[in-house]
Amino acid sequence: MLSLPRFRVAALISLILINSSLKAESAIGVNWGTLSFHRLKPTTVVDLLKENKVQKVKLFDADPGALKALMGSGIQVMVGISNDMLATLSSSTMASDLWVRQNVSTYMVKGGVDIRYVAVGNEPFLSSYAGQYESYVMPALLNLQQSLAKANLAGYVKLVVPCNADAYESTLPSQGAFRPELTQIITQIVSFLNSNGSPFVVNIYPFLSLYANADFPQEYAFFEGTTHAITDGPNVYYNAFDGNFDTLVAALSKLGYGQMPIVIGEIGWPTDGAIGANLTAARVFNQGLINHVLSNKGTPLRPGVPPVDIYLFSLLDEGAKSVLPGNFERHWGIFSFDGQAKYALNLGSGNRFLKNARNVQYLPSRWCVANPSTDLSEVTNHMKLACSVADCTTLNYGGSCNAIGAKGNISYAFNSYYQLQMQNSQSCDFDGLGMVTFLDPSVGDCRFVVGLTDVSSSSYRPNCRWLILWFLILWGFWVFAT
Ligand SMILES: *[C@@H]1O[C@H](CO)[C@@H](O)[C@H](O)[C@H]1NC(C)=O
Ligand SMILES: *[C@@H]1O[C@H](CO)[C@@H](O)[C@H](O)[C@H]1NC(C)=O
Ligand SMILES: *[C@@H]1O[C@H](CO)[C@@H](O)[C@H](O)[C@H]1NC(C)=O
C-alpha cells in the first residue's frame, strides 16, 4: 500500500465501499517516549508492541532508531515535531521540505513505516508556555502541508496539533469554550484540520485534576460510577473523561466544527511517585477507559461516537523525564522501563493480559548499596548528588520506596546512580560508603533496578562530569577564539 501500486478504479471503489460500510472501531494505541536512562532496544519495543497486538503508536519525535525498528511492522505511526523546532519550520520551506524528506518520505517505501500522522508541536498552547510557541504553529502547519504535497503524501499523512485539555475550560461541559486568548489561533487551526480531514488531538488527564485539587471527587476520575455525577441540562456525566471530552465538543461547536473527529493523544494513570498513583488505581482507570471507549457508547454530546483513537500514556516508564509536574511523571508506563507489565490490562485486541518484553538484555545481577560497616552520617551529599542525576522519585512521600528507612534510602540512591553509570565499579565507591552486592536488595513493592546493556541509543545522556568537561572544552574554544 505504501509503495502505492496503481489500483484499478473498480477495485479502489469497492475498497472504499467496504471500508465505509464497516462500523468505525476506536483503536487503542500507545505513546512511546524515550526519555529513559535505561532504554530498551527499539526492536525489543516493536516486538513488545506486536506481541500485545498494538496497532498504533505515537512518538514524540522522529527518532531514526525507533522508525527503523518500525519498518515492515504494519503498525500505524504518529511521528512528532518538538516545540523547539516550530520556529524554524514556520520560517523556512526549505527546513520543512527537509524535515518531511528526512523524517517521513524516507520511510514511506515498500516495507517501510506506515506513518499516518505528524504531530506538529506537543501541547504548544500549554498555559505554562505563556504563548511562546503560539505564533509558529499555523505557519509551520502550512509549510509542512506544502512539503507533504510536494512529496505526494498530503492525502495519506495528516498533520495534527496535540493540545492539552487546558486549551478549553468550563464548569459545565455544554458551556465549553477555548481560552479567550486562544480563540483566534484555534479557529485557524481547526479550519485547517477540517479542510485536510485531520482530527483534533487532545490530551486528557483526570489524574492531574485529582492531583491538583484535593476537593476533586475521586470516583469521578474513574469509570465505575460515582455519587458525584454532574448534571448538565438533560445530560448527566458520570466520569471526568466524558465531561472533559464533551467540553471540547462544545468548544469546537462554538467555532462551527461540532462534528470534527477527536483523537485522544495522551491519557493514562501513573503508578508511583504520588498518593493516588498506584498499581490498582492505574489498572482500574486504564481498563475502565478502554472498556468505555470500545463499548462505542460515546458521550452525551456524541452518543455512539467514541474518540477515533486513543493513545495510552504511556507504554514505558521514562526515568529521565523532568519531575517538575511531580514525581509521578516518571511512572506513567503500563510497562516498567524494561518492558515488564506492571498490572493486568486487556487492551481489547485479543490478549487478556499484557505480555512482557522478551530477550531484554540486563547488566549483571548486582546492586550497589550502603556499606553496613561504615558510619553513614557523612552521606547526605553523596545521596544528593546521586539523586540529582539518577532517578530517586520512588523514595518520596507517596512513592513505593518511601518506607524503606534511612539506610534503605541511601542504598536506593547509590544503586540508581550505579546502574545509571552502567555498573562502573568506581560509581559505587562514594568515598568508601558504597559496596556492590549480589543479593537483590528490593523490599516489598520497592524495586532496586538492574540497568540494561544498551547504550547505543540517541537519548543516552552523559553524566554531569562529562557535561562539565564539555563545558570547559567549549569555554576554552571561546576564550581562544576571542
Ligand atoms: C528529523 O527528526 C529528528 C528527530 O526528531 C530531528 O532531530 C531532525 O532534526 C529532523 N530532521 C530535519 C531535517 O529537521
Ligand atoms: C491508590 O490510589 C487510589 C486513588 O487514585 C486511592 O484511592 C487508593 O487508596 C490508593 N491505594 C493505595 C494502596 O494507596
Ligand atoms: C527517605 O527519603 C525520603 C525522601 O527524601 C524521605 O521522605 C524519607 O523520610 C526518608 N526516610 C528516612 C527514614 O529518613
**DSSP conformation letters of 31-48:** EE----SSPPPHHHHHHH
State how far the Cα of 28 lies from the Cα of 317, in Å rounded to an integer: 18
Give residue 479's pLDDT band: very low, low, confident or very high (50, 70, 90). Answer: very low
- Name the 3-class secondary structure at 207: helix
- Name the 3-class secondary structure at 27: strand
**DSSP conformation letters of 226-274:** -S--EEETTEEE-SHHHHHHHHHHHHHHHTT-TT--EEEEEE----SSS
Give the global pTM: 0.89
First to last CA, the chain: 56
Give residue 188's pLDDT band: very low, low, confident or very high (50, 70, 90). Answer: very high
The rounded mean pLDDT for the chain is 90
Residue 455: other Cβ atoms inside 10 A: 11
**62 alpha carbon, closest ligand:** 1
Report how far apart, in Å, the C-alpha atoms of 404 and of each of 224, 396, 462 are.
33, 11, 30
Active site residue 266: yes
The predicted pLDDT at position 38 comes to: 93
Q: Is 348 in the pocket of ligand 2 (CB under 6 A)?
A: no
State how far the Cα of 101 lies from the Cα of 105, in Å rounded to an integer: 5
State how far the Cα of 294 lies from the Cα of 296, in Å rounded to an integer: 5
State how far the Cα of 73 lies from the Cα of 299, in Å rounded to an integer: 33
Q: Has residue 12 got a pLDDT over 90?
A: no
Q: Has residue 22 got a pLDDT over 60?
A: no
Average confidence (pLDDT) over 40-62: 98
Q: Is 164 in the pocket of ligand 3 (CB under 6 A)?
A: no
The predicted pLDDT at position 476 comes to: 43
Question: Domains plus CATH for the chain?
Answer: 26-330 (3.20.20.80), 367-451 (no CATH)
Write down the catalytic residue from 266, 318, 329, 378. Answer: 266
Q: Which atom of ligand 3 has the smallest separation from the CA of 405?
A: 13
Q: Which atom of ligand 2 has the smallest separation from the CA of 210?
A: 5
Q: Is 403 in the pocket of ligand 3 (CB under 6 A)?
A: no
**392 alpha carbon, closest ligand:** 3
Residue % of the chain over a pLDDT of 90 = 85
Give residue 372's pLDDT band: very low, low, confident or very high (50, 70, 90). Answer: confident
Average confidence (pLDDT) over 36-65: 97
**206 alpha carbon, closest ligand:** 2
Give residue 113's pLDDT band: very low, low, confident or very high (50, 70, 90). Answer: very high
Written as nine digits, the cell of 261 is 473527529
Evaluate the omega torsion of the peptide bond into residue 314 and state whether it is cis, within 30 degrees of 0: yes
Active site residue 51: no
β partners of residue 266: 203
The protein residue with its alpha carbon nearest to ligand 3, atom 6, reads 396
Q: Has residue 18 got a pLDDT over 60?
A: no
The protein residue with its alpha carbon nearest to ligand 2, atom 12, reads 278
Beta strands 177-178 and 168-169, pairing class: antiparallel
Report how far apart, in Å, the C-alpha atoms of 145 and of each of 83, 96, 181 are.
17, 9, 25
Give residue 455's pLDDT band: very low, low, confident or very high (50, 70, 90). Answer: low
Give residue 465's pLDDT band: very low, low, confident or very high (50, 70, 90). Answer: very low
CA of 388 to the centre of ligand 3 (A): 15
The predicted pLDDT at position 214 comes to: 87
Give residue 421's pLDDT band: very low, low, confident or very high (50, 70, 90). Answer: very high
Q: Which atom of ligand 3 has the smallest separation from the CA of 396?
A: 4
The predicted pLDDT at position 378 comes to: 81
Q: Best of 380, 387, 395, 397 to mutate for ligand 3, by most ligand atoms within 8 A of CB?
A: 395
Give residue 8's pLDDT band: very low, low, confident or very high (50, 70, 90). Answer: very low
Of 15-19, 157-161, 169-173, 219-223, the one with minimum mean pLDDT is 15-19
pLDDT in tens, 247-294: 999 999 999 999 999 999 999 999 999 999 999 999 999 999 999 999
State how far the Cα of 286 lies from the Cα of 270, in Å rounded to an integer: 10
Q: Has residue 232 got a pLDDT over 70?
A: yes
The predicted pLDDT at position 76 comes to: 98
Q: Is 396 in the pocket of ligand 3 (CB under 6 A)?
A: yes
The protein residue with its alpha carbon nearest to ligand 2, atom 1, reads 276
Q: Is 397 in the pocket of ligand 3 (CB under 6 A)?
A: yes
Q: Has residue 23 got a pLDDT over 80?
A: no
pLDDT in tens, 311-341: 999 999 999 999 999 999 999 999 999 999 9
The predicted pLDDT at position 358 comes to: 96
State how far the Cα of 122 lies from the Cα of 23, in Å rounded to an integer: 31
CA of 381 to the centre of ligand 3 (A): 14
Please give the torsion angle defined by the CA atoms of residues 18, 24, 28 and 32, in that order, rounded to the nearest 10 degrees: 70
Q: Has residue 7 got a pLDDT over 70?
A: no
Average confidence (pLDDT) over 288-301: 97
Write down the catalytic residue from 25, 51, 123, 378. Answer: 123
Written as nine digits, the cell of 394 is 520512588
Q: Is 327 in the pocket of ligand 3 (CB under 6 A)?
A: no
The predicted pLDDT at position 345 comes to: 98
